[in-house]
Structure 1
Amino acid sequence: MTDTSPTPPDRPDPNLDPTDDTDEPAFDWMKPAAATKPAGGSATTPATTAAAAGTSAAKKDDVGGGAAAGAAAPSTTSQPESRADRKAAEAAVVRPGTASDELLQTSALQIRPPQEEVERRNAEREQAAKAKPVLPRVMQVMLAVFYPVILLVLAVRAVTSPLFLWVEYNRPGFPGDGYGFSTDDRMTYGSYAVDYLSNWSGPRYLGDLVGQSGDRLFKDGEVSHMADVKTVILSTFSAGTLLILLSLVAVIYLKRRHNGGVRRGLFAGSIISLAIIIGLGTLAVLGWEQFFTDFHRIFFANGTWTFTLQDTLIRLFPGQFWMDAGMVIGGLVLLASLVTLILTWPTRRRRGLGRKAAAGSKDTGVAASGSTADSPAGSPADAPAGSDGDSSGDGASETERTRHTV
């Protein structure tokens, strides 16, 4: 049928009566029909229906039936209901070569920075990885500096005790009192003086003491000097207590966060202690009188610590007493420093080098045994590359070598 062919006489006239119009939307005929599943189990779609119709028409009309059936077949793709929906669907589709594709290709994730910037970032990362934390180092330095002071304070506390007085007054060769004090008198009055240095009593603790004759035992100048000594001693003990607490905090932190930090801190502290005590001991041996005078000038004002041989402080604590006290303090610090130095000496075992070497040799042995054990059965373990040691061919041999290397 063509445009020039006459109208068939049996063609019905179109219905132009608007009263028969329904409320059906204009584009509902374009919507695909729901798929129906026949009894045979295969789903029937509009495309298959149209194809069947086209086949029937082709059988009836060999000339133009196929074209008519193809034209009558509806589109199998789902269309949007309105023009706005169609435009939105078209905008959502990303076509190659569009601006969005170009944006993805030129985004910041796709651009590599310059080589200099890459090298600078790598150097900063390596430096940050190699840098050690600061706080453990601070704790080690603090422990090394506090340790000599703590040893000196503990040694002074051992000397300012009634036990040291008893040992000193009863040891052979200690000079006696030429003005009438016996060993018991010295022990009694000396214990009052030593106790006053470590308690919280006022100057009357010594100022109200009387001797056997009923006179005051200590003069005002002696009581004033002992008050100054008490201030220095209590300040020293308080500082030593604070340093002990801070050192304990450092030890606990290093034990938990930095392996070997306590050992290194005490080792450095013992070396510092030995250097200090050897230096002070050398000065004392070269000139005890000058050393004793300079020591008092550091802590006391001139004229407040000099007395006559008849004064009670000189009779209780003669020059030999202070020499013995200095030697005991130096000996205790020296002994403690040597013991600490020996216990914290950085041997291979304490540094962990022995364990690392053993672990390395063990890993090497395991790797060697694993390589031998993984050799394929029936093939020589030391077969050179390219040999026919494996019956599966060169590809299997290369696979085995790769597995052994990994």
Structure 2
Amino acid sequence: MLPALRHARDWRATVTPLASIIGSGFLVVAPLLTSSFGNYAVLAMLLIVTTAYGLGDAIRYNILHVEPLLIKQTPPLGLAQREQLSRVVLAFAYVVSVSFYLQLLAAFVLEALPANVVLSSKSITGGILLVIGVLGIWRGLQMLESLEKYAVSVKLAIIAGLLAGLLSYDISLLSKPALAAFPSLPVFNGDSVRSLLGMLIIVQGFETSRYLGDEYSAETRVSSMRRAQRLSSLIYLLFIVLILPVAGLQDGVSETAIIQFGAQISWVLPPLLIIAALMSQFSAAVADTIGGGGLFSEATHSKIPPRRAYLLVTALALAITLLTNIFEVISLASRAFALYYLLQCIDSVLIAHHRKDRRRSVIYGLLALIMLAVALFGIPAE
């Protein structure tokens, strides 16, 4: 929260992708991975962040080599069309994300409410979507956007506290080995692999740097995205390593299991985690509504003004909310973002081939195939 840090240009360029990468994913990653992969959860997390870093490299390559071609009057054949399609796909991915964020927010609201309060997750989500949609078409959503910088700071602080608490708890278990309960080893099969494919969404968000060109230079966006991905990968891997002994004490999986994990460590963590979830999920939903509305408006050449596009985003998100549960929407969001990353990888392959960079052509081609597999075969981890 220090003004000198908050206003530092490099930090502001880094915090946008960083906030997205360790946003909703951080709240659900532990129950998802430990329930599906047991002691191999760390390996599964390593595979996810490695794939994401490769995808980030493809997008960074596009920032440096594709963007300059797009501003030409006659870009290479198909490049402008793929970029237009990418924006439409990304807009739909943002719609799904809005539903995901608010369904998760609703789950944490219900966790905080007394047991005698009768509310459904979908009614809470629908109510918030209605508020966002009405505010968007009436006054615009920029008035809510300023919440994000405070939500990000609070969330990062609480995550740091959670990691410190986990480390202290695990050290205390060294003197009581009988109390350490690691998750049992799962049975690996086709469904476990497909559920892993459906978890890409938990580290999504680095692509936001691609669309900050009005604020930052290409070099700043490339370096800040790389920094955000490296820091978030370290945080995710450390989190999974530290939470394994705690995760073994839990039965089943739920979207708010992180609250029970926190309660094992300290009484103060559950309310703090609820605060972090409410602040970060609402601000992320607003940010993606703005992003999705802007992309829909661009795709229609402003035939749909941004404020009406916000209403379109919230209406579509409401439909998705009514048709899915939290685990299904995670998989659906992964598929949507995988299609976007697939299109970005195709651009990277073609430009790398044109520049006679064979190594990058092969790497980006393999990533494109992985994204195709995510889009076709990813399933919910429930």
Determine if the TM-score, normalized by the shorter chain, exceeds 0.5.
no
Provide the TM-score with structure 1 as the length reference: 0.20
**Whose helix proportion is higher, 1 or 2?**
2
Larger RCO: 1 or 2 (CA < 8 Å, sep 6+): 2
